[in-house]
Amino acid sequence: MVNRVAVLGSLNVDTTYRVVRFPEPGETISAISRSSAPGGKGANQAVAAARSGAKTYFIGSVGNDDEGKLMRECLDDERIYTAHLTTNMDHGTGTALVTLNEEGQNNIMVYGGANQAMTTSVLDGTDQVFEDVDFMIAQFETPQAVTLEAFKRAKAHQVVTILNPAPASQLIPELAQYVDVVAPNETEAELLTGVKLTDEASLDLIAQHFQAMGIPVVLITLGKRGVYYATKDQAGIVPAFTVTAVDPTAAGDTFIGALTSQLSTSLDNLDEAITYAQRASSLTVQKYGAMPSIPMGFEVEEALKK
């Protein structure tokens, strides 16, 4: 069965500078290389879902500029439905500046543009989307007020909602009531809950914090340590795959999109979906760039067999 996924989110054109090391404050250094590629958390997650076989819809906004045309073409090339990708005439398409050092660590600065200027008007005419899809994904690179309205509509159609609260920002309490799965990384989990992550007991405390807000399922990505999960019945850690990473950009987005492509709406295959998504992420980090590094579903399946 093919999962049907709607993504409400951001689109950015990423410019990446590769450097030996990050500059100190006030220091000028030379870059080894410069490259540009399509990205943005929403777009990356949609592409990850689509490449792993999900029928994928995108709801978002770009500027009336060359970057916006590029992003629209990229989603179209991935066979992602873009009928609800709007054009903002007053704000440019989102962009991101990525600095990547030789150790595979990155720093990212994002200009929100049309992403942050988004209003609930982007949801006009989307009723058919909510009737068709099984899952809806959103992040924090677009306004939470829009996500709240989208999740309200999603839940009215029994759609499973997945929130990737990145970059970390104070969660609107009302929004939590419409979230089925929250999936931060460890830094975001700490910032959102105020609980210092030190061991598995602290992971349990973080999960309890989210569950007290009304979110039943908690996933926390832990990098090389794997993924922690907590439901009302059980909790644990699914180990990561060991690889040599060269660029972590889009690893988390690949995880979210790939996970959603495999989940059952009852979430009873959570372990298997997490394993698949981690394998997909392990392939992403072995290549440079955001969207170009996201693997196809057959590549993930072949890697899992190994």
CATH number at residue 187: 3.40.1190.20
**Is the peptide bond between 167 and the residue preceding it cis, with omega within 30 degrees of 0?**
yes
Note the pLDDT of residue 150.
Answer: 98
Residues 6+ apart with CB under 8 A from 195: 189, 202, 205, 206, 209
Note the pLDDT of residue 288.
Answer: 83
Q: Was 226 annotated as part of a binding site? A: yes
Residues 6+ apart with CB under 8 A from 189: 195, 197, 206, 220
Q: Is residue 295 part of a domain?
A: yes
Structure-token pair, residue 32: 């080894």
Q: Which domain holds residue 81?
A: 4-10+39-91+114-305
Residues 6+ apart with CB under 8 A from 147: 8, 138, 163, 175
> Residues in the chain with pLDDT < 50?
none
Asked if 124 is an active-site residue, the reply is no
Q: Was 42 annotated as part of a binding site? A: yes
Q: Is residue 33 part of a domain?
A: no
Note the pLDDT of residue 196.
Answer: 93
Distance separating alpha carbons of residues 257 and 52, to the nearest angstrom: 8
Residues 6+ apart with CB under 8 A from 37: 13, 14, 16, 289, 290, 291, 292
Q: Was 12 annotated as part of a binding site? A: yes
Q: Residue 166: left if φ>0, alpha if ψ -120 to 50, beta else—which one? A: beta
Catalytic residue among 76, 77, 233, 253: 253
How many independent structural domains does the chain possess?
1
Q: Is residue 23 part of a domain?
A: no
Q: Is residue 192 part of a domain?
A: yes
Note the pLDDT of residue 60.
Answer: 98
Q: Was 247 annotated as part of a binding site? A: yes
Note the pLDDT of residue 181.
Answer: 98
Q: Was 252 annotated as part of a binding site? A: yes
Q: Is residue 102 part of a domain?
A: no
Q: Is residue 26 part of a domain?
A: no
Q: Was 299 annotated as part of a binding site? A: no
| CA 24 and chain centroid, separation | 30
Note the pLDDT of residue 106.
Answer: 86
Sign of CA dihedral 257, 261, 266, 269: negative
Q: Is residue 105 part of a domain?
A: no
Note the pLDDT of residue 273.
Answer: 97
